[in-house]
Amino acid sequence: MTDPSHAHRPAHTMDARHPRALFPALAAPDSRPTIGILALQGDVREHSLALEAAGARPVVVRRAADLGEAPGHRLDGLVIPGGESTTMSTLLVAFEMLAPLRELIGAGLPAYGSCAGMIMLADRVEGAQEGQAFLGGIDMTVRRNAFGRQVDSYEEDLIAPQLDARPDRPLRAIFIRAPWVEEVGPGVEILATTRAGRAAGVGGADGGRIVAVRQGSLLATSFHPEVGGDHRVHDVFVSMVTRRA
């Protein structure tokens, strides 16, 4: 005999115990690129929010195991926040992350470094401490603390079309004990320079200082775009990651 309680149940109705009813994520896997944030120093939370706004899935990287290829842990890109470059170098060595990161970056992993992160991605660094180790990857010479000490930190509106920063909507750049780029190799693209009035001297075509560059899958800025809540630089980086994926 047919159970009356089931007589009028539509054939296509999904039972509440179906896996997709219990776990909706099974029906909609996360297709966003996974971008790690090196969480040794710096604005990890702010970078995470900016990456989410730019359409990526941020994850925290604190140890070498977080760089692995296990399911759910593969990184499509990496952000190296600001901080203090000598301390960052020391921690990378202590946590046995320096060599794995160099290998990943050398193999083409997209990486974005802000402030101290720019220093870490430079092939040559002026003012470095003796024995200080860097990741390298961008054919440039960077000067540490070039804009001065913390009390000399400042902000400036940048016009940088390749970062979607136009005269009617400039990019507010926040410099905190920031480096600048002294020179770049032929394969490096200059994305932004300061105005000549603030940091006159060697640098861009207008006499300003080079503060944003790109080479291949690597991006670096002297300033902290994450601090002001502007995610246009992160938009550019996520696009670089997506194109490579």
**Is the pLDDT confidence value at 13 over 50?**
no
The residue from 47, 156, 182, 224 that is catalytic is: 224
Lowest mean pLDDT among 70-74, 164-168, 178-182: 70-74
How far is residue 217 from each of residues 32, 125, 245, measured CA to CA in Å?
18, 20, 11
pLDDT-derived band at 240, boundaries 50, 70, 90:
very high
| pLDDT for 42 | 82
Residue 84 annotated as lining a ligand binding site = yes
The domain defined by 31-244 folds into: Rossmann fold (3.40.50)
Residue 143 annotated as lining a ligand binding site = no
**Is the pLDDT confidence value at 27 over 60?**
no
The residue from 115, 156, 182, 231 that is catalytic is: 115
Residue 137 annotated as lining a ligand binding site = no
Q: Percent of the chain scored above 70 by pLDDT? A: 79
**Is the pLDDT confidence value at 130 over 90?**
no
| pLDDT for 200 | 41
Residue 173 in tokens: 């750049």
Residue 177 annotated as lining a ligand binding site = yes
pLDDT-derived band at 242, boundaries 50, 70, 90:
very high
Greater pLDDT, 51 or 43: 51
Residue 212 in tokens: 């944003």
pTM: 0.83
**Is the pLDDT confidence value at 33 over 70?**
yes
Per-residue pLDDT reduced to its tens digit, 155-170? 899 999 999 999 999 9
In the annotation, is 96 catalytic? Answer: no
